[in-house]
Structures are given as C-alpha cells and as structure tokens.
Amino acid sequence: MTINRTAKVVGARADWATHSLILCLFILLFAFATSRADARGGEFSSPERLMAWVDDYRSSPEPAMLPEAVHAMKSLGLLRDAEKSAFFTGFIAGVLADNPHQARSLAAMLFPMPAKEQGVIIRAIAYSGLPDWEDMLTNFAPRMPHRRLLIDQFLSGDEKTLMNAPLDSGPETIYTLWGYYVATGYHPPVARIILALRWSTDRSEKNWLDHVKGAMPWNSVKKDIERLGIGATAKWTLASYAERHRDLLDFYRGQLVYQPPMIAIQLNDVIEAAETFESDRIRKQELAAIEDAKMEAMRKEQQPSSTASAGSIAIATGCVIATATGHPEIGIPCVVTGALYNGAVKMFQSAD
C-alpha cells in the first residue's frame, strides 16, 4: 500500500513537472513569437523602417516577409500612384522572380488589396518574368474584377513586360528596374538603365540645346525635355548605386565595349564619379542640363502651360533619383511622403 501511494505521489510530481515544463516552453515560445512580431511590426511601422528593410533585403533575403511588407506599403500609402509605387513594384517582382517555387503562394498572400493598388500586384506578376506569369495573372483575375482591363492588356501584349517596356515612356520604368535589382542583384535590369544614357547630356560637348534652338514645335521640345529627364535619372542613379554596390563598377566596365560612343562617354563619366564617390557632381551636372533646357524652351515658347510642364519634369526627376539611390533619409521626404516640390528643392540644394 505504501509503495503504491509513493508511486502515485512520484507519478503525480512527474506529471506536474512535465506539465510545468511544457507550460514554460509554451510561455517562452509565445514570448519569442510576440517579440518577433513586435520587431516585425516596428520594422514596417514607418516608411523609413520599411525602406531600410527593402534596402538590406538582398544581404539577408526573407521572401516569407514579402506579404507583410507589401501590406505595410499599402497602409503607408506607398502604392497609390505610379511615381511612388514603381520602385516597390520592381522590388516585389524581383522577390517573386527569385523565388519561383513560392511565387504563387506569396502572390496569394498579397490579397486583400484595394482595387487601385491591385495594379501593383498585376504589374509585379507580369514584371517578374516567371515562365508561368500569364497563368498566374489568369488565376488571380477573379480576385481583381475591377482590374480586368489591365490584366487583359498584359495578356494580349498591349502592356509590355519590364524588360520590354520603352524607356522613354516615363521615369517610372527606371525606378522599377532599380527595384528589381535591389531585390535580386541581377544585372540585366541595370543594363537596360544604361541604355537610357543616350538621353543624358555631356556638358563639355555640343549638347541637347542645339536641338531646342531650331524652330521646333512645343510637343517635340517637350518630348526631348522628358527624355533628358529620363537620361538624367539613369545617369545619377547609376553613379549613386555604384557608390554603395561596388560590384556594379565591374559590370559597368564590362558594358563599355558593347555600347555605342554616345552611351560609352556617359558611362565612363558614371564610372569615374562612382569610383571617386562624386555622384553629387552628376546630380549638379544633370540638373543644370535640365534647367538650361527649360530656360531655352521657355524663351522659345512663352505659354504658361509649357513653363509648368518643363518645371514639373525637373522636380519629378529629382524625386526619382532620391528614391532610387536607396537612401531612405533622402528619398522618403521627397517621394514616399509625396512632398514633391519641397523634397526636390531640399535635395537639389543639399550639396550646394
């Protein structure tokens, strides 16, 4: 009898100890999970923190965190318009491309998403370049009934995929290509950006202004100014990124032999500026080229609408460059918060 009682006591104590150990482990796991959730919440709690995570992504890829990051982008208002969302669209596309076996499940977790912001999901899937991107778009179409037009445009080929999008359609293509690079480290998107150097201006040579001085209609002049802005965006971002990602310098040098002289000259300038950490020189040079183009156009065409259009190109270019450099402290005030004019002026004047 005593032995049985002793055994029961010992067994009860063992059960209690086991339950206590399990409870302690549960509490520790819960605390760990909570602390990670808090840390993640803090990581995506502001545009600056989110951009820091994006900028550091390639050094420590966490594709499973993409859906949470994208929902944070939506909550922070970063996916509402083309200028703000282009870089993030490219980043999402790059993460999907780099994780083909998880791409469908990751894309599924990007929902729910408001109809306006669903354009980012559609473009990211198409821009990913995955072999089955068209099938993915078709499968997700029922979740996006209000965006059927855009989906059909991609499926029919009316909307181009990222590596086929015309570079002179707007600076957003440049931002999107950089977002893809940030996520993957792949060089083909950078090679496309290099092609836009054809529209950059070498201030030491007979330059773009000669084209404006002729009797050209305003629409033609405006298109040239827009291309000048795209070329400026490409040149400055190429230099800025190479200051931080030194592997790009070797890629640039390797590209020189494949480029026509008009691009090779500009790329050599980019390499020299990046090697000596003087991307600010490129910034000032390209801004001056845009200002000259604006002033010449304004002298030829005194219509207020022309002046306003030319001015907005310069401001938008500055904001784009700030974002694409990957420096949150510069890019966030300009593009992410939407403070276009003040952000651009602040950035342009910061190094003067």
Number of neighbours of residue 234 by Cβ within 10 angstroms: 32
Helix ranges (DSSP H) in 128-217:
133-140, 148-156, 172-184, 188-195, 209-213
The first and second tokens of residue 7, run together, are 């055994």
Q: Considering only CA atoms, which of 148, 167, 286 is closest in space to residue 229?
A: 286
pTM of the model as a whole: 0.75
> Residue 165 gets which letter from DSSP?
S
Give 47's contacts (C-beta < 8 A, 6+ positions apart): 76, 78, 328, 332, 336, 337
Q: Which of 14-28, 64-78, 90-104 has the lowest mean pLDDT?
A: 14-28
Report whether 211 contacts 237 (CB < 8 A).
Answer: no
pLDDT at 75: 93
Which amino acid, 2?
Answer: T
Residue ranges per structural domain of the chain: 50-164, 188-350
Q: Considering only CA atoms, which of 51, 56, 115, 62 is closest in space to residue 88?
A: 51
Which amino acid, 333?
Answer: P
Give 180's contacts (C-beta < 8 A, 6+ positions apart): 90, 91, 93, 94, 97, 127, 162, 186, 189
**Distance from C-alpha of 42 to C-alpha of 65, rounded to nearest angstrom:** 13
Q: Which of 160-174, 193-207, 304-318 has the lowest mean pLDDT?
A: 304-318
Q: Which of 10-19, 154-163, 321-330, 343-352 has the lowest mean pLDDT?
A: 343-352
